[in-house]
Amino acid sequence: MLAEVHDAGDAHRLMAKASAAEHYARKAQLGEDAITYAHAIKIDAEVLLGKFLKETEKRSGKHSRGGGSSGTQRVPLPDAPSTLEELGVTKKLSAEAQALHTIAEEQPEQVKAIKERKKSVTQVRREAKRASVSEAAALPSEKYRLTSLPYWYRGLS
Task: Please report, for the chain, the start and end positions of each structural domain, with discontinuous segments joined by +.
Answer: 1-58+82-129
Q: Given this model, what pLDDT does residue 101 score? A: 94
Walking along the chain (157 residues) 10 residues at a time, the average pLDDT comes out as 85 94 96 95 95 82 56 66 82 92 92 92 88 70 63 64
Q: Which of 101, 100, 102, 55 is nearest to 82 (CA)?
A: 55
Q: What pLDDT sits at residue 119?
A: 92
Q: Does the global pTM surpass 0.75?
A: no
pLDDT of residue 134: 75
pLDDT of residue 85: 82
pLDDT at 2: 78
Given this model, what pLDDT does residue 115 score?
A: 93
